[in-house]
Amino acid sequence: MQKRIYLSPPHIGKYEQQLVTEAFVSNWIAPLGPQVDAFERELAEYVGIQGAVALCSGTAAIHLALRYLGVGPGDCVFCSSLTFIGSVCPVIYQGAEPIFIDSEPDSWNMSPLALERAFKDAEQTGKFPKAVIIVNLYGQSANFDPLLTLCQQYDVPVIEDAAESLGASYKGKASGTFGAFGIYSFNGNKILNTSGGGMLVSDDREALEKCRFWATQARDPARHYQHSEIGYNYRLSNVLAAIGRGQLRWLDDRIAERRRIFDRYVEQLGNRDGIEFMPEAPTGRSNRWLTVLTLDPHRCPLTPNQVLDALEQENIEGRPVWKPLHLQPVFAGSLYYPHEEHADFSTTVFTQGLCLPSGSNLTEEDQDRVIACLQRVL
């Protein structure tokens, strides 16, 4: 059996090891410390925003943002459907109801047409969402101009889930900086990973301080342990922040490597009938976190699952596209707005799409194995 090729494995360099060693030598291995402070400052500077709070996950960041915006029982939140469940679970934590919005073909992200219909229905019922969570899928920013215009028209704040899109941009502005809050994920398969972690960012420093307070068990500023509010154990550890600081130094290189991997897949497979790769929207630049393609069932003889099975037989990890949240059993019966009345784009991509190995440490020889397998099976 040949060695395993993973979808998006960690890619660790020398800086990470140096900074983790600093944390150990200084004995700052407690939950917080100078590496956390530096990581927050450096990431905020990288994306061009006022401040950041380092947390244990991107899901925790969304949860804090929702709480700060006052989302609670009886409220609803408009959410992207074509994404991972972590984008929406915090809505449930707060006792609110998610209403799912389809994606559009140009960016694979939230459809302005679907969002507009959802807002018009809200006008009719008089029940507006307390927030809109817009996800940037597979490293690409959503089409924010029309989306933000709609949200501003109805005076509804935006939470930008940039878990997969750190380093991407929309019209020259960094992904994660368009909403009242932005969130990033540093899970082990992300383009910047700390094995597990996340970040909440905003230009509202007062809001970030309140979220930082909640994330640190909401401990009051007293000598003894005193708590006037309920908080959470959500902060990132000093050791993991050291890994993140090292990863941040490599980030532009890692993005360039993933984009080269994507381009090579397109060069070798893009002319095959029935194959289409996730487009790069003309309004921005993707970090190409994962290379994703779709197989047209009318022109391609195989299903995505058959291709994934063939890859697995060669000890190569692939993955289906995210199953849309409106199709998940846990959200059965939830309200959903498709891109157009008879065009459910999220479901189409789910049934036709798959993700290929895309890690920035994927060698050319390993990519040749993936390409050869695909050419053979197709």
Confidence (pTM): 0.96
pLDDT digits (tens, 9 = 90+) for 55-66: 999 999 999 999
Is 368 strand, coil or helix?
Answer: helix
pLDDT digits (tens, 9 = 90+) for 157-166: 999 999 999 9
Total residue count of the chain as it appears in this document: 378
Taking the C-alpha atoms of residue 207 and residue 227, their distance in angstroms, rounded to an integer, is 19
pLDDT band at residue 31 under the 50/70/90 scheme:
confident
C-beta neighbour count of 356 within 10 angstroms: 28
Match 């991997």 to its residue by tokens: 261
Which strand ranges, in their side-by-side order, compose the sheet holding 291-295?
275-277, 291-295, 353-356, 319-320
State yes or no: pLDDT of 155 exceeds 90.
Answer: yes
Catalytic residue from among 173, 190, 210, 323: 190
pLDDT digits (tens, 9 = 90+) for 190-238: 999 999 999 999 999 999 999 999 999 999 999 999 999 999 999 999 9
Taking the C-alpha atoms of residue 322 and residue 353, their distance in angstroms, rounded to an integer, is 9
Average pLDDT estimate for 160-180: 98
CATH 3.40.50.300 fits 14-249, yes or no: no
* Closest to 160 (Cα-Cα) out of 174, 172, 41, 150: 174
Q: Is residue 190 among the annotated active site residues?
A: yes
* Both tokens assigned to 58: 């991107």
CA distances to 112, 151, 364 from 115, in Å: 5, 9, 41
Provide the pLDDT for residue 149.
98
* Both tokens assigned to 289: 């976190």
Domain chopping of the chain, boundaries: 14-249, 250-377
* Closest to 174 (Cα-Cα) out of 211, 209, 199: 199
pLDDT band at residue 151 under the 50/70/90 scheme:
very high
The helix (H) or strand (E) run that includes residue 64 is helix 58-68
State yes or no: pLDDT of 342 exceeds 90.
Answer: no
Angle in degrees, 0-180, between the axes of helices 144-153 and 112-125, rounded to the nearest 10? 10
Query: Spelled out in words, what is the top-level CATH class assigned to the domain 250-377?
Result: alpha beta
State yes or no: pLDDT of 79 exceeds 90.
Answer: yes
